[in-house]
């Protein structure tokens, strides 16, 4: 198993490019199945979740070539509608194949998806929406089978703005008969990216960026080349790193327009920012100021960055308060941060963090993707050596977190235990 070794208390300086977005590219790969032809995706991150999705697409009959961040997906020989249990359990995003496979092959067999252990993430909204569109759903234990002679449009009202459910409905609606209206749709930037991609393929979608989407079905789709935007969560992670240890960095290839909540929080914590098109220059001259943070659906603060900011709060100049409203399991990272010398108390979905600098080097375990990144950030702000186990979680969403942070002057390495 790989372990990250960190020698802390080195400020960060320099510039790095930001990889393509994990949360954007996975639904694009799924949406490619709607079309019988060739899709080319550029700026695709070389991360484990992408490799896992590639494995699923190949098992379904697709021919895929992935080289130098360009991914070619030939879906003409798609002939399988069954996702094996082992593949489906590897990542949460396997659930988004429900809509495309129903739309293309009118059948799908899969299991309840896996991924990080960050709390309850039911797929009821996905299944109930597809049933309203004409699918027949059978659930036996962890196995899900869905059939449909022909999906049809429907008016769907989401009780919660679920990103995954919104994506599944969008993809299913593109080839369905008639018009689908989604009320209470998620507004995350990755939904907008999916709408742009589907539109480039030939779909007709109205309301992109809003909570009310209209999809006109039975679209005639075509071969498409599409560029994946930069990853706002990775950019926010490295912004959190410089906030924790100080320095002056430049991040390029960043979707600045999609990071308003993160940038506002960074300023409140004392980080000096200079924003240009697709670029963030960040300077941190002091320890972070204490802050209050509440997570929620976009445009509220992203739950994916909550763990990283928990690490930042651990070295702030006073008491910070972080409230988690999306995934209750996110605070599992607090216990590991406390091993590094943080002082975090969890009370009814809220973390009370008393900052102190520096933290102290220790051996800790990552239990999820973003929590692992948070532990790396905390290790940078710790005196002595830290060892971060659970690198397999981190590699699900970060191409090479050690490479990137070393390029900014941090002292860390990935070694086999």
Question: What residues are annotated to the active site?
Answer: 116
Contact predicate 218/180, CB 8 Å = no
Residue 145 and residue 33: Cα distance in Å, rounded?
18
Q: E strands of 228-370, at which residues?
A: 247-252, 272-276, 279-284, 292-294, 319-323, 343-347, 350-354, 359-360, 363-365
Helix (H) or strand (E) holding 106: none
Alpha-carbon distances of 65 from 42, 55, 100, 227, rounded to whole Å: 12, 11, 20, 16
Residue 417: helix, strand or coil by DSSP?
A: coil
Q: What are the residues whose beta carbons fall under 8 Å from the beta carbon of 44, sequence distance 6 or more? A: 20, 25, 50, 66, 69, 70, 71, 228
Sign of CA dihedral 387, 393, 397, 400: positive
- What is the DSSP code string of 216-229? E-S-----EEEEPP
CA nearest to 24, candidates 266, 195, 203: 195
Distance spanning both ends of the chain, measured CA to CA: 6
CA nearest to 152, candidates 216, 80, 78: 216
Helices 163-175 and 98-105, axial angle in degrees (round to 10): 10
Structure tokens at 275: 């924003």
CA nearest to 258, candidates 246, 275, 244: 275
Give, in degrees to the nearest 5, the angle at Cα 96 between 79 and 308: 140
Q: What are the residues whose beta carbons fall under 8 Å from the beta carbon of 140, sequence distance 6 or more? A: none
Contact predicate 311/343, CB 8 Å = no
């Amino acid at each position: 198993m790989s372990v990250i070794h960190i020698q802390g208390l080195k400020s960060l300086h320099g510039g790095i490019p930001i990889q393509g977005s994990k949360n954007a590219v996975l639904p694009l790969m799924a949406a490619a199945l709607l079309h019988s032809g060739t899709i080319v995706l550029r700026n695709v991150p070389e991360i484990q979740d992408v490799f896992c999705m590639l494995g699923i697409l190949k098992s379904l009959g697709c021919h895929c070539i992935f080289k130098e961040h360009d991914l070619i997906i030939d879906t003409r020989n798609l002939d399988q509608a069954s996702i094996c249990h082992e593949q489906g359990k590897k990542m949460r995003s396997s659930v988004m194949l429900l809509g495309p496979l129903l739309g293309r092959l009118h059948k799908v067999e899969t299991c309840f998806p896996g991924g990080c252990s960050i709390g309850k993430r039911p797929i009821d909204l996905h299944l109930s929406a597809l049933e309203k569109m004409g699918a027949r759903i059978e659930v036996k234990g962890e196995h899900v089978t869905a059939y449909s002679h022909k999906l049809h449009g429907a008016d769907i009202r989401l009780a919660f703005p679920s990103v995954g459910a919104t994506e599944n409905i969008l993809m299913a609606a593109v080839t369905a008969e008639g018009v689908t209206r989604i009320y209470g749709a998620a507004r995350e930037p990755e939904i907008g990216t999916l709408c742009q991609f589907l539109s480039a393929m030939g779909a007709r979608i109205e309301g992109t960026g809003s909570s009310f989407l209209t999809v006109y079905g039975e679209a005639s789709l075509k071969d498409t080349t599409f560029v994946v935007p930069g990853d706002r969560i990775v950019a926010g992670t490295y912004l959190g790193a410089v906030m924790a240890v100080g320095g002056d960095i430049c991040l390029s290839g960043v979707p600045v327009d999609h990071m308003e909540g993160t940038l506002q929080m960074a300023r409140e914590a004392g980080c000096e920012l200079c924003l240009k098109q697709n670029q963030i220059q960040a300077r941190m001259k002091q320890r972070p100021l204490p802050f209050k943070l509440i997570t929620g659906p976009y445009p509220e603060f992203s739950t994916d960055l909550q763990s990283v900011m928990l690490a930042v709060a651990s070295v702030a100049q006073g008491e910070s308060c972080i409230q988690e409203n999306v995934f209750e399991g996110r605070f599992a990272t607090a216990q590991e941060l406390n091993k590094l010398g943080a002082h975090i108390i969890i009370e009814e979905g809220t973390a009370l963090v008393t900052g102190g600098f520096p933290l102290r080097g220790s051996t800790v375990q990552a239990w999820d993707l973003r929590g692992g990144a948070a532990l790396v950030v905390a290790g940078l702000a710790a005196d002595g050596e830290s060892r971060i186990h659970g690198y397999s979680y981190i590699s699900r969403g970060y191409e090479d977190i050690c490479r990137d942070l070393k390029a900014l002057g941090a002292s860390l390495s990935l070694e086999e235990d």
